[in-house]
Chain A
Amino acid sequence: MSRRIIFYAYLVCLMLPLYWLINLSFKGNVEISTTMTLWPIEPTLRNYAIIFTSPEWFDGFLFSLSYVALNTIISISVALPAAYAFSRYCFLGDKHLFFWLLTNRMAPAAVFALPYFNLYSSIGLFDSVWAVALAHCIFNVPLAVWILEGFISGVPREIDETARIDGYSFPRFFVRIFMPLIANGIGVAAFFCFMFSWVELLLARTLTNSKAISSIMTRSVSASGIDWGLLAAAGVLTLIPGALVIWFVRNHIAKGFALGRV
């Protein structure tokens, strides 16, 4: 019984800061700064109205969602064949290459902020979704390779050989037979790519002219006279894509976190 109590106490601790954010987002600034109440006394939709009527905020959301989607697609499509190669073949320098890939997942984003600015400015991609989508590949591609390699190694290689004997060409075998077999793994990898691209701020801010939703938010923090209600409402809205993704993968979360490797 005490186990349940610990578990629920933990869940409550997780929810409290989120509840407070939602609570503040429905309050006006006068109420926020003058009274301390557990729920809005005079609930207002003013904060949300500002966001939905201002093109700047709305475009920020769209911009962020599009580079996240683009990054997930790029990461998964290049990582799939590579993960297959790492799982099935020995080749020159494979172990070193694998570790080198992983080190990029570990490189601090702060180190790369400035060179990225130079690099993407010089090839004319600065301030576009492509810049952020490509830059986020540095940590998402290695992660996707790592996760997919685990799942692919779980598929017996007899299947590969049977398909070859049956006369399937490699690309056809890969797309028609192999990818459905590791659909779970692809889902998990896509989930992680989405997650890490969505939550990242430093590169997204450096590579764009304050277009991503995350940088629009930091600007409203530093602006004179912080609009707490507006900030809270924007925060609540950024939670929604994550919450939706979690809801869709809820049955796979436990398996997914094992990364196919336990």
Chain B
Amino acid sequence: MTKTVDNRAWFLVLPVFALVAFNAILPLMTVVNYSFQDSFGNNQFFWNGIGWYQELLDPTSELGGRFFAALGRSAAFSLAILAIEVPLGILVALCMPRSGTQLAIGLVIMALPLLVPWNVVGTIWLLYTRSDIGLFGWLINAVGIDFNATRNAAQAWIVLIAMDVWHWTSLVALLCFAGLKSIPDAYYQAARIDGASRLAIFRYIELPKLGRVLMIGVLLRFMDSFMIYTEPFVVTGGGPGNSTTVLSIDLVKIALGQFDLGKAAAMSIVYTLIVLTVCWVFYTVLVTRDSQEAQP
């Protein structure tokens, strides 16, 4: 669709611009300001230049080591849940009935985890996986494996990943389902006449159609898993030790726990830049795909 060039359209965008700018630019400036300073209580601030950034990006310093460890944990978490949720989401979408009451009930159940408040997701999984009162923890102990997520780091990770898969796989599945529904029946009929195998249908008809929704799904899941705070905070509190302290948990610990505003601010800026860079790449790919599809 061709668009009209008209700068008066700014008036329509102005309310959004004002609202988001108020929420984004002012706090961001505060963070940038803090990141160049050091504080010693009593609201006394001292200019620290780029000191915090140098320390942060130097893995041998205490702050830098802590930052890179937390960054590594966040990246590992995002990769792990993407590696599970995307294939599982596609599988579930392929297995969903195409219409009828079964579909309606299935959709309602699938959407339910998405609308559970994030701290309640944490609570649910805390109650579900505790070895003394939880069904999941109790069952695993019952088959003879010693399971206690509050003491064992690997098991704490299993709980966090299982929780995220429970929470968000439905989003990927629903996106894929919407994508699959937009494939005309004629494609399948043509494939049947050609004698295509199930695998070939998936590879050459369904997967290309899913490309776009999968990009949206991966983007949303990457952003939200990389920024995850509430659920691990409730379930493991970052422990045992520091084994599940992902970036945002560490950030809140430094900012609101120790009140080290300078360090926390510098960390925030680097953190935000990482998220933005990844998202910019995804966004560019999406937009390029769109414009290619628009001009076949």
Contacts and interface: CB of A to CB of B under 8 A. Distances in A.
A202 B231 CA distance: 11
Interface string B222-242: 010011011000100000000
Contacts of A94: 9
A162 B62 CA distance: 66
B108 A246 contact: yes
Interface size range on B against A: 35 or more
Q: Binding site of B, secondary structure by majority: helix, strand, loop or mixed?
A: helix
A130 to B, nearest CB: 12
Contact of A254 (B107, B109, B138, B230): B107
Count chain B CB atoms within 10 A of each CB in A11, A18, A199, A238 and give the residue with the most.
Answer: A199
Interface string A209-238: 000011001100100000010011001001
B51 interface: no
A262 B212 contact: yes
A91 B276 CA distance: 24
Contacts of A84: 12
B177 interface: yes
Nearest to A99: B283
A95 to B, nearest CB: 9
Interface stretch (B143-151, B188-196, B249-257): B249-257
A89 B127 contact: no
A163 interface: no
B27 A14 contact: no
Contacts, number: 280
A199 B116 contact: yes
B75 interface: no
A70 interface: no
A102 B279 contact: yes
Contact of B30 (A16, A119, A195, A232): A119
A36 B132 CA distance: 9
A111 B268 contact: yes
A85 B57 CA distance: 42
A78 B16 CA distance: 6
Q: Binding site of A, secondary structure by majority: helix, strand, loop or mixed?
A: helix
Nearest to B133: A32
A243 B108 CA distance: 8
Contacts of A111: 31, 251, 268, 271-272
Contacts of A232: 123, 127
A243 B115 contact: yes
Given A7-B92, A261-B212, A91 B7 contact: yes
A109 interface: yes
A235 B120 contact: yes
B227 A259 contact: no
B227 A262 contact: no
A104 B115 CA distance: 21
A52 interface: no
A81 interface: yes
B182 to A, nearest CB: 5
